[in-house]
Amino acid sequence: MSGEEHDTGHSGTGHSESGHRGGHGEGLLKGLATTFKTMVSPAHTQQYPDVAPDLPPRSRGVIALLAENCTVCMLCARECPDWCIYIDSHKEEVQVPGAARARQRNVLDRFDIDFSLCMYCGICVEVCPFDALYWSPEFEYAEYDIRNLLHDKEHLGEWMASVPPPPAHDPNGEPAKEETAAARKAAAPGRPARGATT
């Protein structure tokens, strides 16, 4: 009885080993077939820098800054996972006609991005609530000195000229929130002024 058990166990083990070997051989043949197919197919090499690459229009090349839109809310610097955005500002009083007292606003003094640290995740562009940061498809700004990859606000502003226009709005898509709010306001009946009696 023990001999039968021994024979059964031995034959089962032999079957699993042969099946295991067959699986490896099949995978090896598939891999070699893929390699051979790649070897005989023609190569598609882009002749850069002699020929400019055909990049998608919304490529992530470099980040551009529209300084007049920046309110120094610091959202981009706080959300940056690499801490490569440096912002300095000062407060300035603004006289508003008809207001009882002057108001204060932040004035942008420094806006630097260190592209030697940036990982081009695009979080800063996404979180900016005032559309001050944009993606430019320009990518040819390599430097011999790593310190020159720290772009100040003037340098970042120069990239705005290469920012592509936004894509056209889909006519079948939902209207923008601003459009919806303006339409509701226009359709609502006129409200009487405060203090007016009817």
CATH number 3.30.70.3270 is the correct assignment for the domain at 62-92+102-162: yes
Tens of pLDDT along 37-88? Answer: 888 888 888 888 888 888 887 788 999 999 999 999 999 999 999 999 999 9
Tell me the pTM: 0.64
User: Cα separation of 124 and 80, whole Å?
Assistant: 6
Domain ranges of the chain: 62-92+102-162
Q: What pLDDT sits at residue 131?
A: 93
Average pLDDT over residues 154-169: 90
Summarize the confidence of residues 178-194 as an average pLDDT. 76
Whole-angstrom Cα distance, residue 183 to residue 180? 5
Distance from chain centroid for Cα 179: 26
